Amino acid sequence: MDALTSFDGDALELDFPGLRIGIAEYEEGPTGCTVFHFTGGAMLERDVRGGSPGLFGDLDWVDAICLAGGSLYGLEACTGVAAELFAQRGYDTGWTSIADVTGAIIFDFGPRENAVYPDKELGRAALRAAEEGRFPLGRRGAGRSATVGKTFGFEHGEPGGQGGAFRRLGDTRIAVFTVVNAVGAVVDRDGNVVRGHFDPPTGARRTLVEGIETRLTGESTTLTVVATNQRMDRWLLRQLGRQVHTSMARAIHPFHALTDGDVLFAATTNEVDDETLDSLTLGVIASELAWDAVLAAVR
């Protein structure tokens, strides 16, 4: 299979030096992976809220984060990212040169009838394709076969995808990227269900409280990366992740369910020290960006 790494269509344009983003897909799935490469490394905290997570690499400092489809098999893409970093560093085995890669997966086999998954070669391809300043939106990368709004059964689900949002405050950058494959539906700021909980006979979308007596389904996950260059200690970074992850329940109903594998990675390159921007304010801004990112994934 050939990896696709160049895509037209909607994309988030962002100004975040040192953050390179790569996308690679297998059209035969279709499935894919999305890689965030911090060229100077980044301090990391993660917040795991879903009942069924699939994770790779328990690290507190990373060179890259890899999000992938393919359920647990897709974690192989993370090893590809590490292998490609290893090659780019001239196969240097020094302690400080070891590639630090973490990642997580979604279950995207539901809407397709094959066993294709993001493997090591796809992870390598995504890293090789990584560039600054552009993040493809919608059914791309790890969100290629994502679905949302399956609370009342898979037949009520609709396409998900990956979304992102970015803001610059002085020299501080803050970006949120998310892959939405939730059991829950996506809700806008007016409280309307805009994707998922679809009722085929009527063409309407149902609110959460309607028909909740029907079964819940599994195979669902939302993966999120919050990235900033603002300097903060590890405790504040951990709280930022918790604050943003909690806030995303406004955009996805229900969220953090037993059948979800929700994971949020909070990363900072610690390059900018803006004393006028406190961590609480940063968390509020990032939380609004997270809602924007969820909506961008399904627009």
Active site residues: 221
For 76, residues 6+ apart whose C-beta sits below 8 A from its C-beta are 70, 117, 118, 119, 120, 123
Here the tokens at position 248 are 């995303």
For 124, residues 6+ apart whose C-beta sits below 8 A from its C-beta are 80, 81, 83, 84
244 and 251 Cβ atoms separated by less than 8 Å: no
What is the Cα Rg of the chain in Å? 18
Q: What are phi and psi of 179, to 5 degrees?
A: -110, 115
- Residue 218 DSSP symbol: -
Q: How many CB atoms lie within 10 A of CB 10?
A: 14
Rounded to the nearest 10°, the torsion over CA 274, 277, 282, 285 is -110
